[in-house]
Structure 1
Amino acid sequence: MRIGYYAHHHGSGHCRQADKLAALLPNDARAQLTVFTSLDINSYRFTAIDEQQIVRLNAEDEHPDDILAGRAGEYWQPASLHYSPVGNGDIQKRSHQILDTIFQRKIDLMIIDVSVEVAMLCRAASIPYLYVRLPGIRDDAPHLGAFTGALALLAPYPKALEFTHTSEWVCDKSLYLDFISSQKAESYTYESFIDILAKLSVGGEISAPKSTNLPSIETQLTDKSGATIPIITVIKGYGGHKAIDEKLPELRSLLPDALIVSLGPIDDDKRCYVDISTEVDDVTPFICHSNYLMMACGLNAVAQAYHYDTPLIVVLMTGHIMNKPSWLKR
């Protein structure tokens, strides 16, 4: 069976989810997988599939000369869509890219990672699809329409974390996949983690000196059970990091002597509140050996942190369809 996977453009998490799924497929099925995304190669590099299996779509941003805006308001905006500019050339081109690729590559089934609009495009074109359903409150008309039009729903999290008010028919239509983990991560000792921090403090982006200075306290951190300086790792993705950055001044004020590590994007004016700001390929040692983690409840981050007992400080991301209260059960 030839499968297509549409990965939503918001952040790199949807591409990462597609990559993890691809890694689980048998070789012959993986070779026939096509991923559709508007992220460029610098925003996310796939590891489980080749570049020729990726269709780089036109962006779907609004233009000043669009006939109607993406959210045109009552009586102009179809209730089945979240976002639908009229007269937008890029969206016309990306729609053609999707449908033409499905036809040319004889794709049998699409997996739609949260895009209501692409789901409706497939349903209108008589293309069968599975819809990836993220946790939280998603009972608005566009989401319910996408759920209804799908052959089945994929829930990449444990059923135990399902939101209590989710409709019974949605649960019945969902296949719960538990958390989809990346390939087995390398095992890191606490000493190797401290060595990583020491190297980052020399070669990475390090903020102006504060009360903590890693080289001078490295000897105090070699034994986690006797460490006197807590290590707090703040993990952020490109899907939205500003809400977490806004908490950094308060975090530094509450814990002036802590070693605060920021992984992922960070606003320039917030760098002074952390000791190390960098990006890494593998967050496993930070999740495993930090004293505390601070992050939003993104699906990929939770899937990885779920298997460790490191205390987690959750920064809730507000929004009418983006609430994730069920994660707080953890």
Structure 2
Amino acid sequence: MTGTTRIGYYVHHVGRGHLHRATSVAAELARGGAEVTGLSTLPRPAGWPGPWVELAPDDVGADPDRDRVTAGGRLHWVPAHHAGLRSRAAAISAWLAGAAPRAVVVDVSVEVCLLARLHGVPVVSAVLPGVRDDPAHLLGADVADALLAFWPAEATGMVAPASLAARVTAVGGLARYDVAEPAPRRPGPPRVTYLAGSGGHELDERLLDAAREQTPDWRWTVLGGTAPWVDDPRAAIAEADVVVTHAGQNALAEVAALRRPAVVVPQARPHEEQRTTARVLGAGPWPALARESFPATGWSALLDEACALDGGAWASWCDGGAAGRAAAVVRRVAEGEPR
């Protein structure tokens, strides 16, 4: 290849995990000389290393039943006669035609995988945990030249079916933060940080109140849910003796990068996404105690047990190299390596 290597990067807008890891992988690609254009409903984030195409939303006013959003079960979201869908598809097509990218990274959208490939552009698709055996997921995976998973290779059972899992390149957990060994703790009572997340919250606040009442010696910090969220929770994670978190990939990667022991309580997500992750964590060597739901009782013993875990055991989940490994996969596809 000669000249600038152009790469597109589609970023799903729900939650913040897709954007955080896209920014990290794009930075790695840019350091290698690529021009990386973001494609998303989200506004251009600070620190994005290249151009950004902000797309029209395709969900405003859409009705899943009326608008036949799955096209007979073959796709995930294509609401009929939706102006936003037309606009965003046209914007992506116009960019593909004008930029002639060597590859497009998709995190995540079956429809964008298909759109890029229909323009003759190779696709690298992220794969999320859970049961992804529906026709739409399998179609998106089939057209992709490479599949990226942001968990370590030793985390077996993260995605089904087996035919999909066999094609995945697991690059490890990807966090915004540099890996940091645990620092000496600050004086004071033991501290617990609860990460409720920004992608949807379902906890009955009475359960959280009960957990606090059962642990009067612990100081609780709550981020997300009905409490305020912060764009950068690093300090709240790093200073905690235990982190109670949902099982979203971004939250887990950041807890792992900062080497904090955790209690992991999955939230309800389609395709058993978080429950699958929690089950794998609970069966593995990582410093995490997984529970199927937010416990109503037993919090004092649970936090004490978690606090005794070695946070350094997160090293195999998040070693700081995931962005580089993901960028290497994208470069191979962009250079035309056969799948």
Q: TM-score range by the shorter chain?
A: 0.7 to 0.9
1:78, CA displacement in angstroms?
A: 2.5
Where 1:262 maps in the other structure, the secondary structure is strand
The Cα offsets for residues 139-162 of structure 1, whole Å up to 9 and x where unpaired, read as 222111111111111112111113
1:258, CA displacement in angstroms?
A: 2.5
Unpaired segments ≥5 residues, structure 1: 192-221, 272-276
1:66, CA displacement in angstroms?
A: 9.7
1:122 aligns with 2:116: yes
Q: Structure 2 residue aligned with 1:233, among 193, 202, 220?
A: 193
Q: In 1, are the aligned partners of 2:96 and 2:119 still within 8 Å (CA)?
A: no
1:9 aligns with 2:13: yes
What one-letter code is carried by the residue in structure 2 that aligns with 1:90? G
Q: 1:63 to 1:70 in 2, by over 3 A?
A: farther
1:113, CA displacement in angstroms?
A: 0.6
Quick one: higher RCO (CA 8 Å, sep 6+), 1 or 2? 2
1:22, CA displacement in angstroms?
A: 1.7
1:62, CA displacement in angstroms?
A: 4.3
Q: 1:305 to 1:88 in 2, by over 3 A?
A: same
CA–CA separation in structure 1 for the residues paired with 2:251 and 2:160:
23
1:234, CA displacement in angstroms?
A: 1.3
Unpaired segments ≥5 residues, structure 2: 287-339
TM norm structure 1: 0.74
Q: 1:126 to 1:246 in 2, by over 3 A?
A: farther
Q: In 2, are the aligned partners of 1:135 and 1:162 still within 8 Å (CA)?
A: no
CA–CA separation in structure 2 for the residues paired with 1:298 and 1:56:
25
CA–CA separation in structure 1 for the residues paired with 2:250 and 2:158:
22
Matches within 5 A, 1:97-246: 97-163=91-157, 166-182=160-176, 184=178, 189-190=183-184, 222-223=186-187, 227=188, 229-243=189-203
Cα RMSD of the aligned pairs, angstroms, is 2.8
CA–CA separation in structure 1 for the residues paired with 2:126 and 2:159:
18
1:54 aligns with 2:5: no
Q: Please name the residue that 2:267 is paired with.
A: 317
Where 2:160 maps in the other structure, the secondary structure is coil
TM norm structure 2: 0.72
CA–CA separation in structure 2 for the residues paired with 1:112 and 1:35:
10
1:266 aligns with 2:201: no
Q: 1:315 to 1:59 in 2, by over 3 A?
A: same
**Percent of matched pairs sharing the same residue:** 25
Q: In 2, are the aligned partners of 1:66 and 1:86 still within 8 Å (CA)?
A: no
1:232, CA displacement in angstroms?
A: 1.0
Q: 1:280 to 1:189 in 2, by over 3 A?
A: farther
Pair member with larger Rg: 1
Q: Structure 1 residue aligned with 2:39, among 22, 36, 59?
A: 36
1:235, CA displacement in angstroms?
A: 1.9
Further displaced range: 126-135 or 19-28: 19-28
